[in-house]
Amino acid sequence: MTSETGGAAETSWASGTAALAHVRARSTGPLPLGPGEPAPPGMARLGCGDGTGLALPFWPDGATPSLLAEYQVAPVAVERSGETRRVLAAALKCCWSDLAADPWPGTPAPIDDVLAVYRALIGRSDDLMRNWAVGALRRLHDSAWLVVADGTVRLGPRCACWPAAAHAQLRELVLRLPGPGEEGVPAVLPVAGEVRHEAVASLDAPEGADDDLLGPFDERHRAELVAAFMAVEHAAEPVHEARFPALRDPVLRRALAEMLRRRGRVLVSGRETWTSGYADDVAAGAGTALGEAERAVLVLVLLHSVAIPRAEGLLPADSWLSPFPAQAEELRRHTLLPIGELEAALRVLRHAGLVTQVKSGEEAGGYVPGPQFHRLTPAARRRLQEELILAAGPHTPLAAAVRARRG
């Protein structure tokens, strides 16, 4: 899929491979591109000084998930969102050294300076606040908003998606933030999977990726299509069709389904509600970004919060959301993972939206399936049901029937 000439390379992205690239970028983050390799359709190319680059999905018509606020739709929740936003603001203060230029890519800054700005911003310097800040740095690194490596912080590739119209507001924010204090805050931040790259030289945003779909509609219907796209892709819960005309109108809904298909996504319907999920054929070729420990812990959570209550008649057969949390102590007792690896796996699963931590009366709390389970297609639900049967009772007649059907 690589080519030395842009025009010829553009034609190398077939529909299926472009959709697969979108799925991988959504699940694992910005995609690395070789020298001269173009970004797939609908993605921006972030060019590095050595000719390589990164591919990052762009939204139609220049919209961003902030559009959801206009419709009073809640986006996917961020763990400790207040700390995360403040740490990102502190990093912007330290890394955006030339306010006359665009914020991204900025310049690297010591972690000590970022934490010092955060400390000055909140007016506290106790260990709890510092731990929360370090956790926020990890989340921002894992989601490519920041790049944390070798004791420094730099703005991540997702910051390149800030629209130009937002730069003035960001400059005002940076000017109002306190600078790093004279005394830095000692910090040692272990970050798995550190990302290193040279200073990024260019950003090539896609032009008219969906114009063939949006062009035939007038301005109002075009805006309705984009709003519905952002809602099904980025809302925390399935959205009711009454709030989005493009979900009610069959013509608009067909165009919306095609916009999603190009990105390896499909519409998932409920009772007058809609969300989006991975297309089954594309997801099968994308694999998983979860490690073995994360998959094992997720199975434990599903067994204790879904499979066992369902077997006791407490949950309907088609439900993957549960009010019966898997207790943290129960997870510790039924896994061979060291406690540190278990907690790290739960942190990854929470960040991915695959589990949610809840309180349970007087208990210490537990874990239930997260909002991503709204996005399962019927085929994915069926496969997950079979996998749980094989995991919970591999020698049962039901498991034998599953293996026979697959064989």
pLDDT confidence of residue 189: 40
Task: Mark the ranges of the chain whose per-residue pLDDT is less than 50.
Answer: 1-11, 182-200
- Can you spell out the DSSP letters for 206-271? --STTHHHHTTS-HHHHHHHHHHHHHHHHBSSPEEGGG-HHHHSHHHHHHHHHHHHTTTEEEEE-S
pLDDT tens by residue, 149-205 = 989 999 999 898 888 888 999 999 999 888 776 443 343 343 433 434 444 457 777
CA gap 58, 40 in Å, rounded: 11
pTM, whole model, 2 decimals? 0.83
- Percentage of the chain surpassing pLDDT 70? 89
pLDDT confidence of residue 181: 60
Domains in the chain, ordered, with CATH?
Answer: 6-57 (no CATH), 81-201 (no CATH), 211-279 (1.10.10), 292-375 (1.10.10)
CA gap 170, 297 in Å, rounded: 39
Distances (CA, A) of 121 to 124, 156, 173: 8, 22, 12
pLDDT tens by residue, 329-385 = 889 888 888 999 999 999 999 988 899 988 765 556 799 999 999 999 999 888 888
Q: What is the 3-state secondary structure (H, E, C) of 230-248?
A: HHHHHECCCEEHHHCHHHH
Residue 387, Cβ density class (10 Å: 0-12 exposed, 13-18 middle, ≥19 buried) = middle
pLDDT confidence of residue 126: 78
